[in-house]
Amino acid sequence: MAKKGGLVLGKAQMMLSEEYIKRLGSEEGRYWILDEFGLTTSFGALTFGHALYKGEPSGPTTPDASTKMRVSDSVYKIFWTSCPLNPKFWRGQPRNLRQAFENEVEVLQTAKRNYSKKENPCPNYYNHGTMEVSIEFAGENYTEEIGWIEMERLDRIDKPTNSLVDVVNRLHNIGYTHNDLSSIANVLQRNPSRVLVLIDVEKAEAVNETLVQGDLAAAKRLDGDIGHSSVESISDTMRQLKMEDYASM
């Protein structure tokens, strides 16, 4: 089933990417292509963006990284919404991808209505929809449904200016708990303000005391991890620049 899912998501990715690049238009000596670096993938769902490069397209060849000019302002997250439910699909637990898609859309739209773009605890929502994808698999033809969301592109965490507890509280204030903060993988950063943002809100649920406390405990733990990582980063940078030599001046 994972192989079939890969084909479905790959075809949908190609179709959405072609439309997105067409929408951006072309310029002589520059071209947009799919850019997946650093974005999340899990069974039945895929997130991807695009990047602008200098030069001319070179087919399937990976372009020289030094020719990358900038990345797209938005990313797509796609869900295989017609995927049948099976407890073996995702870490031994049922994964309802249609429900996950609808849930994420609801949370992103609610956050958009309640917060400015700068204060939104989630990625800023742009658009969403569904599409049909036709594939051939194991000698048979299939037509599958994909749900897609276009949202704000975010960056990796680097010396954030706010706490994750604050971000989680803002999500709680609009009636949702995140419920998937077991690792830092579901947290990114909005630049240039360097504020933390919660991603992958597909498992969000209505607030209740137990879930709120679970979110806050996880956020406090991750704040400690983020703070430690930031200190390590700063220390590494200082060592590279030999800033210790100036400490006594």
pLDDT bin (cut points 50, 70, 90) of residue 193 is very high
Residue 165: its H or E element: helix 164-173
pLDDT bin (cut points 50, 70, 90) of residue 1 is low
Q: Is the pLDDT of residue 224 over 60?
A: yes
* 94 and 11 inside one domain: yes
* 222 and 138 inside one domain: no
Q: Tally the domains of the chain.
A: 2
Mean pLDDT of 87-98: 66
pLDDT bin (cut points 50, 70, 90) of residue 241 is very low
d(CA 203, CA 130): 20
Instruction: From 38, 48, 39, 42, select the one nearest 14 (Cα to Cα).
Output: 48
Mean pLDDT of 11-15: 95
Q: What is the pLDDT of residues 147-191, one digit of tens each?
A: 999 999 999 999 999 999 999 999 999 999 999 998 898 999 999
Range of the structural domain that residue 164 is part of:
154-249
Instruction: Supply the pTM of this predicted model.
Output: 0.86
* 21 and 74 inside one domain: yes
CATH number of the domain enclosing 184: 1.10.510
> Residue 35's pLDDT is what?
83
Q: What is the pLDDT of residues 105-144, one digit of tens each?
A: 999 999 999 999 999 999 999 999 999 999 999 999 999 9
Residue ending a domain, among 129, 153, 177, is 153
Per cent of the chain over pLDDT 90 is 69
* 74 and 188 inside one domain: no
Is 44:94 a contact under the CB 8 Å cutoff? Answer: no
Residue ending a domain, among 153, 174, 207, is 153
> Residue 88's pLDDT is what?
53
Q: Is the pLDDT of residue 94 over 80?
A: no
Q: Is the pLDDT of residue 90 over 80?
A: no
Cβ neighbors of 15 (< 8 A, separation 6 or more) are 131, 133
* 49 and 126 inside one domain: yes
Instruction: From 27, 177, 1, select the one nearest 95 (Cα to Cα).
Output: 1
Instruction: From 154, 161, 156, 155, select the one nearest 227 (Cα to Cα).
Output: 161
Is 131:12 a contact under the CB 8 Å cutoff? Answer: yes
d(CA 134, CA 78): 15
